[in-house]
Amino acid sequence: MAVDFIVKRDEPRQSRFVSAPDVGELASGQVELKVDRFALTANNISYAVAGDMLGYWHFFQAEAGWGRIPAMGFGEVLRSKSAGIEEGERFFGFYPMSHSLVVQADSVGPGSFLDAAPHRSETAPVYRQYSRASGDPLYAADREDQLMLMRGLFMTSFLVDDFLAENGFFGAKSFLISSASSKTSIALAYQLSQRGAGPVVGFTSPRNLGFVKSLKCYDQVLPYDEIASLSPDTPVAFVDMAGNGSVVTNLHRHFGDNMKHSCSVGLTHWEQGGRDENLPGAKPEFFFAPAQIQKRTQDWGAAGVQERIGGAWRKFDAYSDEWLRILRGRGEQVLERVYNDTLEGRTRPDEGHVLSLWSE
């Protein structure tokens, strides 16, 4: 029986499986995709916590008060009423944690299509795009797991790095990243280290300290209670992947006017909000990746964007083999366990979970 994994929108600890609605006959332009496999990372927790604020709950429909968390994955066409999309084709994009997904295919091209379903109309095109495996220059059949786990978060990190560089790093001479063990943070630290624009400092919990130091993309790694050991005289840019209000507050108060830029990207410490208001230094702001990719598409053209991201991705993908262990799992019990472990911060940073609700 086909099921959907749903989460209480205002309480992510409440989750359950429900029977998926009967799809029935497809309408003209519709495509039914089997959700073959998807990745579950700390990013998905950020999607759930910020679901109402950033519109992630609009991706997929669910009963009132509940939502289906988006996840990067691969789907296979089960049925198609859209010209140019054939049964058996494989597509990469955002999927629900479900058995299948019905989309309204629009702007169908050799490389991708967009889901034009009305409930997704207000979401950014990059969130509604499904890339055809056969026409995707980044696709490799033996690297699907890596693409699911890190392609989306790598794009975010690539765009943060690009945004900082485009703005002259806001005058910063050093870069601070919280939740340094998260895969998005690792990708950003790797990009910044490739630039060599200044030391990259990562903050992490004591239990992840050894792992983060072993990555060699951070120049310095500190536990959160050693913020004061850094010189306050250095101009810094801070990228907050944790969403921990006390960390944001402490860093701003420590560096004062030398906090040249402060932006929020993730919410791995989703219960630790509540930063102080009127902090010294640059005003904290949220980084919205679709705005930067839209700007760069205008600057470089779509092909130019893909070429730059593709070149950077291949280097990071190869680097990930040095530290990432991929774990595959199937079934409702495995999904529920991994979701709860990720929600509570119990997963290992050197592991990546790729899941499916389908049996073999």
Between CA 92 and CA 258 the distance in angstroms is 42
| Residues sharing a CB contact under 8 Å with residue 117, sequence separation 6 or more, in sequence order | 103, 104
Between CA 187 and CA 156 the distance in angstroms is 9
| Residues sharing a CB contact under 8 Å with residue 171, sequence separation 6 or more, in sequence order | 235, 260
Which residue type is seen at 7? V
Q: DSSP label at 225? A: G
* Residue count of the chain: 360
DSSP one-letter string for 94-138: EE-SBSEEEEEEES--SSEEEE--GGGTTS-GGGSEEEEGGG-TT
Between CA 133 and CA 158 the distance in angstroms is 22
Q: In what order do the strands lie in the sheet with 11-19?
A: 11-19, 3-8, 66-67
- Could you report the average pLDDT of every consecutive run of 10 residues in the chain (360 residues)? 95 96 95 98 86 86 96 98 97 98 97 96 90 93 97 94 97 97 95 96 96 97 96 97 88 97 72 66 90 93 91 96 97 97 92 94
> Given this model, what pLDDT does residue 271 score?
47
Check if the beta carbon of residue 164 is closer than 8 Å to that of residue 183. no
Which residue type is seen at 24? G
Check if the beta carbon of residue 180 is closer than 8 Å to that of residue 204. yes
Instruction: Output the CA torsion sign for 78, 84, 89, 91.
Output: negative
Q: DSSP label at 267? A: -
> Given this model, what pLDDT does residue 196 score?
93
Q: Which domains does the chain have, with CATH numbers?
A: 3-136+325-356 (3.90.180.10), 149-289 (3.40.50.720)
Strand partners, 72: 94
Between CA 205 and CA 181 the distance in angstroms is 9
Check if the beta carbon of residue 15 is closer than 8 Å to that of residue 339. yes
Entry pTM: 0.90
User: How remote is the C-alpha of 324 from its chain's centroid?
Assistant: 16
How would you label 276-308 residue by residue, b for 16+ Cβ within 10 Å and e otherwise? eeebebbebeebebeebbeebbeeeeeeebbee
CA end-to-end distance (rounded Å), the chain: 15
